[in-house]
Structure formats: structure tokens, C-alpha cells
Amino acid sequence: MAFLFIRSMNLHVIHTGNFKLDGGAMFGVVPKSIWNKLNPADENNMCTWAMRCLLIENNDRLILIDTGIGDKQSPKFFSYYYLHGQQNLMQSIQDAGFTADQVTDVFFTHLHFDHCGGAVKYKLENENEFELTFKNARHWSNEKQWNWALYPNAREKASFLKENILPLQAAGQLYFIGDENPFSRWFDIIYVNGHTEKQMLPRIRYKDKTIVFVADLLPSAAHIPIPYVMSYDTRPLLTIAEKKTFLEEATEKEYILFFEHDPEIECATVYMTDKGVRVKNTFSLQEIL
């Protein structure tokens, strides 16, 4: 893994709000008597999760990793997910000192609605039509994930929404990452396939540290124990193998894990114990910048 050191790089946490998902679905075979101590459920068995994105400022590039759920779905759709919190995508970008028009690249770890929905919005003058939130940006996926989303399996169909992705293609601003990584000067990509086909995890070199945006390989710090795998994963046994390999590497190389969905913890380091890899330290991203 080779990186070019860029002195002007800055990182900004982008909060896009919280939502709720069924606790049992999020922890798979782990019983509620255990996981409920980690992320307590409400009376409907729903747990709160963040939708935390990352903005990389690097010379003339402004790269947004994931975009949250957005605000264009129907009230019925949103009633399933209990959106809450005071933070949102656009306000968070503004709080970081930027506008949507300044974003040069939008990088999707994958195309589930809670990771890409904010990239497309209703037109102000016509709420029957869509436009891109980041009109000057290239939007990056990969061909395998795109085809997986365009022709979804029955298990994932509800997570891939055509209105989130087809406008990107129609606007001519959809690009695929192939053998050549266009961000190789800033980060490389770890590919994992247990959650969904060809999920992309950015591995970012910042100063003397390596930060990995772990997306849905590890939705939260509570998912670090190997058996804690979401029921949403299409290939749970593969996720287990991918987690084991990744966490052993993260321990050895002292990666900083950046969590997209943990309701409280932004970042953590891990270490090996007699029970396997566990959380070593937790902290905010700001503490290392």
C-alpha cells in the first residue's frame, strides 16, 4: 500500500441525521439479551443509528464519502425508519465551510438508500422531477455494485431505490472505479462482498495515521466481535471471513476505524485479546486532526 503524502489534506465529519433499524436485524444471530446492552432498543425493538459521512478536502478536490438517506422519499417510507436529530447533510457541509457546488467528487461505498439517497433531490420548481444535489461532482461507484443495484436480488430490492441512482446516470455524472483508482493519491480501496456485491471501503492515509471508513462491514463498534453480523448481509459467512481478515490487519497496522452508523462513537482502534479483536480506544475524529 503506497500513498503520496499531501500536506493540505483536511478531513471533516459530515452528520446527516439519525434513523432507526430493527435491533434483531442489525445484530443477526446475537440474542437481544446481549445486544440490547450495546444499543438499547425502544418499545418497537428499534435502535438508533447514525448516518455519518466524511468530507476530504485536498488541494483542488473536495471528496464526499456517502451522502446519507436524503429527504425525497414519501412520508410512508420515512415512517419505517424514524428519521430524527437536528443535523442534516447540507447544514453539515455548510458548517464545514463549503457549499454543495464545491464538492468535486461523491464516492459511494455502496448504493443502499442510507448511503446514497442524499445525492439526488427533488427539483425546487417541480417535485415530480429529480436533480443532483452536487451538480458539479463526479459520482463514483463500480460496475459490479451498479449492476447489483440496477437488477437487485429479492433480499436487497428494498434497499436499492431507482430514484437514488438513475438520475446520476441520466445526468452523465456517474463514473465507475475499475482497475485504475482515481483517488490513489489520497486513498486506496478495500473491496468486501459479504454485505453486498463489491462494497468499497476507503483506506485513507492522513499524516502518520491510516483511517478506514468501514461503512457496513462494521456498522458500529458493537459489531467488532466476529459473530456480530447483520441479517441484512447477503453472504453472512463471507462477512465473517472478511471481518476476521480486516480486523487482524487493523490490529497489526493500528488502523483508525471510522464508523458510519455508530450512534455515539466516531472512531476506534482495536487490539487482540484472548477473546478475539476488541475495541482498544474510542475518540472523535477531531481528536486526531
Summarize pLDDT for 14-58 with one digit per residue, the tens. Answer: 999 999 999 999 999 999 999 999 999 999 999 999 999 999 999
Q: Evaluate if residue 7 carries a pLDDT over 80.
A: no
Going from N- to C-terminal start, the domains of the chain cover 10-288
Q: Can you give the C-alpha Rg of the chain in angstroms?
A: 18
pLDDT in tens, 145-201: 999 999 999 999 999 999 999 999 999 999 999 988 898 878 999 999 999 999 999
Q: Which CATH superfamily groups domain 10-288?
A: Ribonuclease Z/Hydroxyacylglutathione hydrolase-like (3.60.15.10)
pLDDT at 5: 45
Q: Does the pLDDT at position 6 exceed 90? A: no
| Whether pLDDT at 219 is above 80 | yes
Confidence of residue 102 (pLDDT cuts 50, 70, 90): very high
Instruction: Output the pLDDT for position 185.
Output: 79
Is the confidence at residue 84, as pLDDT, over 90? yes
pLDDT of 179 reads 83
The pTM (predicted TM-score) of the whole model is 0.95
Report pLDDT for 229.
98
